[in-house]
Structure 1
Amino acid sequence: MIDMALKSTFYISHGSPTLSIDESIEARKFLQSWKKDVFPHRPSSILIISGHWDTAVPTVNVVDSVNDTIYDFYGFPKQMYQLKYPAPGAPQLARRVKELLKKSGFNQVDEDTERGLDHGAWVPLFLMYPEADIPVCQLSIQSNKDGTYHHNLGKALAPLKDEGVLIIGSGSATHNLRKLDLGSNPTVAPWALEFDNWLKEALLEGRYEDVNDYEEKAPHAKMAHPWPDHFYPLHVAIGASGDDAKAKLIHSSIGMGTLSYASYQFTSAAT
């Protein structure tokens, strides 16, 4: 029997790739305490939706052996390019994802047998599950679509929770790389704090339709997300949790003045 707590879904703000090595980032400690303080269960497999894989149609990586570690970042310390996250692939999960999406009306769902895990997937998992012994499948987002589309994408995946699959959306609650404060003592930008607080209130109050329509509803929406790629994994996580799901803020911090690491858990009231 599946533990009811396994039916939660999550949105993790992975922030900067330096999360993998920088001990000063608050969110790093949060992710390292994942198994102890947040989710003390071993999932059968992990489905992660990363803002760093953007395709025309939903696509899953179908890896029969070990996932490659993709270094999709540039100009960072050498040691980051030496890290590995050799998690097993989850081909059965990938094909189950395809089945569920097609059943829900997503007529074209592609497979990628070459792609491993980008840093939006492996960096947080490297901290959450350092043993890299849980099978992982990655699902892409479609930045040419909207929040409601990704919410419905998540709804199609909801049955996976009953099958022991941990569903994680990985992005950033705010993500405007042109507005980062790289100084030694950055102050939080008011617009970033206002958007972050709006998101928290909307989620905790269950106003998921407002979150779907964030570009019209949220303050500074275009400043917080000039492109939606790091926000859409949140919509997938909400959709997969169920219409009656309750949100819980499980981490909150802001780095480099504008980069929110806010992370959320969504649990169906029915559980």
Structure 2
Amino acid sequence: MMPSYFVAHGAPSLVLEQHAYTDFLKKFTAAAPKPKAIVIFSAHWESRTQAVSTADTYSTIYDFSGFQDELYQMTYPAQGDSSISEAIAQLLVKNGIPSVMDSERGLDHGAWAVLKLMYPAADIPVIALSVNRFLTNEQQYQIGKTLSSLREQDILIIGSGGVVHNLRMLNWRGGNTPEEWAVEFDGWIQEKLENWDLEALFNYEQLAPYAKEAVPTSEHFIPLLLVMGTGDGNRQAKLLHRSYQLGSLSLSCWEFN
């Protein structure tokens, strides 16, 4: 069965950066079996109803400003797969989850920046899915659980976001040294993930240390819960990589089996 992954996408410039995390993303996918298709939840596609992309060929969305000119020249012209999009819609309907199909939207940087590092050839069909910050944490998990059967078809499910993602508290002078509160929050999340403590994770806003600092808005954290749900059968979580940028961004990759 294909594992699912949570990947941090950091800043839009991640795709141009060279460090331990970008090296990790390039190497671990190069050594892994090629998936039949990729289903990706991006923190930067928000909707109040679960949206499922049906694009034939994706445009590239530059949903950022003030970065290097080179970024605005990059493209990731992945193809969609309407049969998989329809299968996803049917799984959602079967489990009472409302959804809408979207044939127009391209890939935002939360999707294309990490995919360009992981699968630069853009030769694997992609189905993009939105996130809804107005659902409960348990509902997020249940959406992932609903899609878990896709893994049996060699379909890779990715959640792109950030466990610690606070742009307002960036430390531009601190380099890659993380803030103590960021490390403490990450450590709490790690312990709960490895022990599959759903009650704690569903209530992380109240229970986790420095939750407000680490997760000032929930859209970047939600993809972690979504892909965790896809691993509900075996309930095995493994941290593959974690590093930090600018004090308040954690660059982590979690595997769920």
- TM over 0.5, yes or no? yes
Which residue among 247, 250, 253 is the counterpart of 2:240? Answer: 250
Q: Which runs of 5+ in 1 are unaligned?
A: none
Q: Deviations over 1:79-115 (max 9, x none)?
A: 0011111111122211111110110011x21111110
Q: For residues 126 and 36 of structure 1, what CA distance do their matches in structure 2 show?
A: 12
Which residue among 13, 19, 22 is the counterpart of 2:17? Answer: 22
Partner of 1:79: 70
Q: For residues 181 and 68 of structure 1, what CA distance do their matches in structure 2 show?
A: 33
Are the aligned partners of 1:48 and 1:170 in contact in 2 as well (CA < 8 Å)?
A: yes
Query: Partner of 1:137: helix, strand, or coil?
Result: strand
Q: Is 2:83 the counterpart of 1:97?
A: no
User: Structure 1 residue 224: deviation in Å?
Assistant: 0.6
Q: For residues 92 and 71 of structure 1, what CA distance do their matches in structure 2 show?
A: 27
Q: For residues 71 and 64 of structure 2, what CA distance do their matches in structure 1 show?
A: 10
Q: Is 2:105 the counterpart of 1:115?
A: yes
Query: Partner of 1:33: helix, strand, or coil?
Result: helix
- Amino acid in structure 1 at the alignment position of 2:38: I
Query: Partner of 1:229: helix, strand, or coil?
Result: helix
- Amino acid in structure 2 at the alignment position of 1:86: P
User: Structure 1 residue 34: deviation in Å?
Assistant: 2.3
Query: Partner of 1:102: helix, strand, or coil?
Result: helix
Are the aligned partners of 1:148 and 1:213 in contact in 2 as well (CA < 8 Å)?
A: no
Query: Partner of 1:252: helix, strand, or coil?
Result: strand
Query: Partner of 1:262: helix, strand, or coil?
Result: strand
> What RMSD over aligned residues (CA atoms) do the two structures have, in Å?
1.3
Q: Is 2:230 the counterpart of 1:240?
A: yes
Partner of 2:50: 58
Query: Partner of 2:127: helix, strand, or coil?
Result: strand
Q: Which runs of 5+ in 2 are unaligned?
A: none
Q: For residues 9 and 56 of structure 1, what CA distance do their matches in structure 2 show?
A: 24
Q: Deviations over 1:240-268 (max 9, x none)?
A: 1124321100111011111001210011x
User: Structure 1 residue 216: deviation in Å?
Assistant: 1.6
User: Structure 1 residue 35: deviation in Å?
Assistant: 2.1
> How many correspondences in the alignment?
257
User: Structure 1 residue 227: deviation in Å?
Assistant: 0.6
Query: Partner of 2:218: helix, strand, or coil?
Result: coil
Q: Deviations over 1:37-70 (max 9, x none)?
A: 5xx1111110000100110110011112x11111
**Runs of 4+, deviation exceeding 6 Å:** none
